[in-house]
Amino acid sequence: MRIRLVMPDFFLYTLSMEKTVEKNDEHTIEYYKTRNEELEAKLKWYEEQFRLLQKQKYGASSEKTNEDQMSLPLFNEAEDVADSKVEEPTFDTITYKRKKTRKTREELMEDLPTERIDYEISPEEQVCSCCGEKTHKMSEEVRKELQVIPAQVKVVKHVRHVYACRHCEKEGIETPIVTAKMPSPAFPKSYASPSIVAYIMNQKYTEGLPLYRQESQLKYLGIHLSRQTLANWMVEGANRWLAKIYNRMREHLLQEEILHADETTLQVLREPGRSAESKSYMWLYRNGRDRPPNILFEYQRTRASKHPKKFLSDFNGYLHVDGYGGYDSIPNITLSGCWSHARRYFDEALKALPKGADQSRLTATKGLEYCNQLFAIERECLDKTPEKRYEIRLEHSQPILEAFSAWLKEQTPKVLPKSALGKAVKYCRKHWHKLIVFLEDGRLEIDNNRSERSIKPFVIGRKNFLFSNTPKGAESSAVIYSIVETAKENGLSPFEYLKYLFEQLPNIDTTNKEEIDQLLPWSPTIPLHCQSPK
Instruction: Write out pLDDT tens, residues 26-81.
Output: 778 877 777 887 777 777 767 667 766 766 666 666 566 655 544 433 333 333 33
Looking at residue 471, its amino acid is P
In this structure, the number of other CB atoms found within 10 A of the CB of residue 131 comes to: 6
* H or E segment to which residue 155 belongs: none
pLDDT digit string (tens) for 430-446?
A: 999 999 999 999 999 99
Say how far apart CA 524 and CA 490 lie, in whole Å.
Answer: 11
Mean pLDDT throughout 115-139? 88
Whether residue 350 is predicted with pLDDT greater than 70 in this model: the reply is: yes
Share of the chain above pLDDT 90, in %: 56
Say how far apart CA 390 and CA 470 lie, in whole Å.
Answer: 47
Mean pLDDT throughout 75-101? 47
Residue 451 contacts by C-beta under 8 Å, 6 or more apart in sequence? 260, 261, 262, 284, 285, 286, 320
pLDDT digit string (tens) for 476-528?
A: 999 999 999 999 999 999 999 999 999 999 999 999 999 999 999 999 999 99
First-residue to last-residue Cα distance in the chain: 75
Quick check: 272 and 470 in contact, CB under 8 A? Answer: no
Say how far apart CA 499 and CA 501 lie, in whole Å.
Answer: 5
Position 465 scores a pLDDT of 72
Whether residue 286 is predicted with pLDDT greater than 70 in this model: the reply is: yes
Position 78 scores a pLDDT of 34
pLDDT band at 19 (very low <50, low <70, confident <90, very high): very low
Alpha-carbon torsion, ordered 82, 84, 87, 92, to 10 deg = 60
Neighbour order of strands in the sheet with 295-300 = 295-300, 279-287, 258-267, 317-320, 333-336
Position 2 scores a pLDDT of 46
Q: Which of 399, 420, 452 is the last residue of a domain?
A: 452
Q: Which of 413, 432, 452 is the last residue of a domain?
A: 452
pLDDT digit string (tens) for 292-337?
A: 999 999 999 999 999 999 999 999 999 999 989 999 989 999 999 9
Q: Distance between alpha carbon 428 and the CA centroid of its chain, in Å? A: 24
Whether residue 375 is predicted with pLDDT greater than 60 in this model: the reply is: yes
**Which residue range forms the structural domain that includes residue 297?**
258-452
Position 63 scores a pLDDT of 64
Average pLDDT score, the chain = 85
List beta partners, residue 300.
281
Whether residue 358 is predicted with pLDDT greater than 60 in this model: the reply is: yes
Whether residue 404 is predicted with pLDDT greater than 90 in this model: the reply is: yes
Residue with more model confidence, 472 or 109: 472
Mean pLDDT throughout 148-171? 87
Position 113 scores a pLDDT of 82
- Residue 498 within a domain: no
pLDDT digit string (tens) for 199-250?
A: 999 999 999 999 999 999 999 888 899 999 999 999 999 999 999 999 999 9
List beta partners, residue 299.
282
Say how far apart CA 441 and CA 387 lie, in whole Å.
Answer: 8
- Residue 509 within a domain: no
- Residue 75 within a domain: no
Q: DSSP label at 268?
A: B
Looking at residue 129, its amino acid is S
From the list 254, 451, 431, 264, the residue with the least C-alpha distance to 336 is 431
Question: For 59, how many CA atoms within 13 A lie in the half-sphere containing its CB?
Answer: 15
Quick check: 266 and 288 in contact, CB under 8 A? Answer: no
pLDDT band at 12 (very low <50, low <70, confident <90, very high): very low
Position 59 scores a pLDDT of 61
- Residue 183 within a domain: no
Range name among 45-59, 116-130, 401-415, 450-464 with the lowest pLDDT average = 45-59
Residue 281: phi and psi, rounded to 5, are: -135, 145
Range name among 3-12, 270-279, 346-355, 495-504 with the lowest pLDDT average = 3-12
Share of the chain above pLDDT 70, in %: 84
- Residue 385 within a domain: yes
Say how far apart CA 146 and CA 103 lie, in whole Å.
Answer: 17
Whether residue 401 is predicted with pLDDT greater than 50 in this model: the reply is: yes
- Residue 382 within a domain: yes
- Residue 140 within a domain: no
Best-predicted range by mean pLDDT among 15-24, 114-123, 348-357, 389-398? 389-398
Three-state DSSP class for 34?
Answer: helix
Quick check: 194 and 502 in contact, CB under 8 A? Answer: yes
Q: Is the pTM of this model over 0.85?
A: no
Residue 3 contacts by C-beta under 8 Å, 6 or more apart in sequence? 15, 17
List beta partners, residue 264.
282
Position 392 scores a pLDDT of 96
Whether residue 406 is predicted with pLDDT greater than 90 in this model: the reply is: yes
Say how far apart CA 280 and CA 274 lie, in whole Å.
Answer: 10
From the list 270, 197, 204, the residue with the least C-alpha distance to 236 is 197
Mean pLDDT throughout 392-413? 96
Say how far apart CA 152 and CA 351 lie, in whole Å.
Answer: 52
List beta partners, residue 531.
492
From the list 475, 524, 476, 520, the residue with the least C-alpha distance to 500 is 520
* H or E segment to which residue 372 belongs: helix 358-380
Angle at 360 between CA 356 and CA 362, to 5 degrees: 95
Residue 433 contacts by C-beta under 8 Å, 6 or more apart in sequence? none
- Residue 439 within a domain: yes
Query: What's the domain count of the chain?
Result: 2
From the list 485, 511, 393, the residue with the least C-alpha distance to 94 is 393
Position 271 scores a pLDDT of 85
Say how far apart CA 503 and CA 529 lie, in whole Å.
Answer: 14
Position 61 scores a pLDDT of 60
